Amino acid sequence: MNEYIEQTTRTKLKRLPKRGHFDRETVYRILDEAFVCHVGFCLDNQPFVIPTSFARIDDRLVIHGSAASRMMRNLSAEIDVCVTVTLVDGLVLARSAFHHSMNYRSVVVFGKAKIVTDEKEKYEALKAFTGHIVPDRWPEIRPPSKNELKGTTVLSLPLAEASAKIRTGGPVDDDEDYELDVWAGVLPLNLATGAPVPDERLKDGIEIPGNVLNYSRK
């Protein structure tokens, strides 16, 4: 597989192209860190953008949901879809209102999603969803039953038309504004976990597993 994703008219960055990245390592790293994607599609001339969880398996995204979901039913018909993911790393505070910004990492994916019908592949996708949220969680839990699998739709979207866009660094002000008596810089933002809260019905004697106690998204 090529280490770079070929640019298309839809993925080519027109504004600030120097922030664009098309290498798979960068795209995959952002996807693997994010929790939520936004799925955009159009139905009867009405646009929809739905937030949902996802996972990456090799060179494709997998999305799951209820078999009764409108989004899942319509995406199963292989309509055009646009999926976006964004991680915010910091607030960029400039000396002027115009140059305030954010440091971020984002991915945009275009394509047509296909329904996963093979039961084994579907099972592996659900395993990937769980591992994407908490690594090594799958061996600790009850796997889905046949009825649960039947009631769940899994869609697969190839990462064949995708791009990443990244902003890093401090503010870029107009030359004359550097003389202003205004604080400027970056306020970093990080995803942090708190102390695990046991379920009210947790049986006595069950310890917090290490993958929860030492959880980190990085």
**pLDDT of 1 above 80:** no
pLDDT band at residue 11, thresholds of 50, 70 and 90? very high
The CA distance from 93 to 171, in Å, is 6
Which structure tokens are listed for 12?
Answer: 């080519």
The predicted pLDDT at position 68 comes to 83
What distance lies between CA 206 and its chain's CA centroid?
32
Q: What is the pLDDT of residues 106-158, one digit of tens each?
A: 999 999 999 999 999 999 999 999 999 999 999 999 999 999 998 999 999 99
Cβ within 8 Å of residue 34, ≥6 positions away: 85, 86, 87, 107
Domains of the chain (ranges; CATH) run 17-173+185-190+200-213 (2.30.110.10)
Scanning the structure block, which residue is given the tokens 């870029």? 172
Q: Please check the confidence at residue 67 and state whether its pLDDT lies above 90.
A: no
The pLDDT value given to residue 16: 78
Q: What percent of the chain has pLDDT over 70?
A: 100
Confidence of residue 96 (pLDDT cuts 50, 70, 90): very high
| Interval 22-50 mean pLDDT | 95
| Beta bridge partner(s), residue 74 | none
Q: What is the pLDDT of the chain when averaged over all its residues?
A: 94
Within 10 angstroms of residue 48's Cβ, the number of other Cβ atoms is 12
Residue 163: pLDDT band with limits 50, 70, 90: very high
What average pLDDT score do residues 156-183 get?
97
| Spatial separation of the C-alpha atoms in residues 56 and 31, rounded to whole Å | 7
HSE-CB at 145 with a 13 A cutoff on CA atoms is 2
CA-to-CA distance for 49 and 41, rounded, in angstroms?
Answer: 7
> Which is nearest to 10 in space by CA: 117, 132, 112?
112
Percentage of the chain beyond pLDDT 90 is 89
How far is 87 from 31, CA to CA, in rounded Å?
A: 9
* Lookup: tokens for 96: 């002027």
Average pLDDT over residues 174-188: 97
